[in-house]
Amino acid sequence: MNHTQTVGVVGCGTMGTGIAIVAARAGFKTRIYDLNAGNLELARKQAAAFLKKSVERGKLAEGEDAQIMAQFMTTTDISELADCDFVIEAVFEDLKVKHTIFKQLNDVCADHTIFASNTSTISITEIAGGSGRADRFVGMHFCLPAQMMKLVEMSPGMNTSEETFARAWAFSEALGQRPVCTRDTPGFILNYFLVPWHNDVINMIDQGVAEPADIDLAVKTALGYPLGPLELLDMVGMDTQLLLCEALHGVTNEPRAACPPLVKRMIGAGRLGRKSGRGFHRYDNNKIFGA
Residue 75 CB contacts under 8 Å (≥ 6 apart), including other chains:
31, 32, 33, 40, 81
Q: What is the pLDDT of residue 247?
A: 85
User: Do the domain assignments include residue 118?
Assistant: yes
Query: Could you tell me how far CA 22 lies from the centroid of its own chain?
Result: 11
User: Do the domain assignments include residue 1?
Assistant: no
How far is residue 31's CA from residue 33's CA, in Å, rounded to a whole number?
7
Beta partners for residue 156, in sequence order: 138
User: Do the domain assignments include residue 56?
Assistant: yes
Say if residue 119 is in the same domain as residue 228. no
Q: What is the mean pLDDT of residues 76-82?
A: 97
How far is residue 171's CA from residue 186's CA, in Å, rounded to a whole number?
24
Which residue blocks in the chain are alpha helix, DSSP H? 14-25, 37-56, 64-69, 95-108, 124-129, 162-174, 190-206, 212-223, 229-236, 238-252, 261-268
Angle at the Cα of 212 from the Cα atoms of 210 and 217, rounded to 5 degrees: 90
Say if residue 203 is in the same domain as residue 98. no
Say if residue 55 is in the same domain as residue 82. yes
How far is residue 257's CA from residue 245's CA, in Å, rounded to a whole number?
5
Domain edge (last residue) among 181, 203, 230? 181
Q: What is the pLDDT of residue 4?
A: 73
Q: What is the mean pLDDT of residues 105-121?
A: 95
Angle at the Cα of 196 from the Cα atoms of 195 and 197, rounded to 5 degrees: 90
Domain that holds residue 124: 6-181
Residue 240 CB contacts under 8 Å (≥ 6 apart), including other chains:
92, 93
User: Do the domain assignments include residue 288?
Assistant: no
Q: What is the mean pLDDT of residues 72-82?
A: 96
Q: What is the pLDDT of residue 1?
A: 54
Say if residue 176 is in the same domain as residue 263. no
The DSSP bridge pattern shows strands 29-33 and 6-10 to be parallel
CATH number at residue 211: 1.10.1040.10
Q: Is 228 left (phi over 0), alpha (psi -120 to 50) or beta?
A: beta
Say if residue 154 is in the same domain as residue 216. no
Give catalytic residue positions.
Answer: 120, 141, 153, 191
Say if residue 200 is in the same domain as residue 177. no
Say if residue 197 is in the same domain as residue 176. no
Query: In this predicted model, what pLDDT tens digit does every residue of 174-206 receive, in sequence order?
Result: 999 999 999 998 889 999 999 999 999 999 999
Query: In this predicted model, what pLDDT tens digit does every residue of 205-220 receive, in sequence order?
Result: 999 999 999 999 999 9
CA 283 to each of CA 40, 51, 128, 235, 288: distance values in angstroms, whole numbers, following the listed order: 21, 20, 37, 11, 11
Q: Is the pLDDT of residue 287 over 90?
A: no
How far is residue 271's CA from residue 254's CA, in Å, rounded to a whole number?
26
Q: Could you tell me what percent of the chain has a pLDDT over 90?
A: 88
Domain edge (last residue) among 181, 203, 219? 181
Give the 3-state secondary structure of residue 27.
Answer: coil
Q: What is the pLDDT of residue 49?
A: 94
Residue 251 binned pLDDT confidence (cut-offs 50, 70, 90): confident
Q: Mean pLDDT score of the chain, rounded to an integer? A: 94
Domain edge (last residue) among 127, 157, 181? 181
Say if residue 132 is in the same domain as residue 259. no
Let me know: does 179 contact 55? Beta carbons within 8 Å. no
User: Do the domain assignments include residue 284?
Assistant: no
Say if residue 141 is in the same domain as residue 38. yes
Say if residue 12 is in the same domain as residue 144. yes
User: Do the domain assignments include residue 281?
Assistant: no
Residue 115 CB contacts under 8 Å (≥ 6 apart), including other chains:
87, 89, 102, 105, 106, 109, 128, 131, 133, 136, 137, 138
Name the domain count of the chain. 2
Residue 12 binned pLDDT confidence (cut-offs 50, 70, 90): very high
Say if residue 170 is in the same domain as residue 245. no
CATH number at residue 140: 3.40.50.720
Query: In this predicted model, what pLDDT tens digit does every residue of 140-160 receive, in sequence order?
Result: 999 988 999 999 999 999 999
Say if residue 37 is in the same domain as residue 157. yes
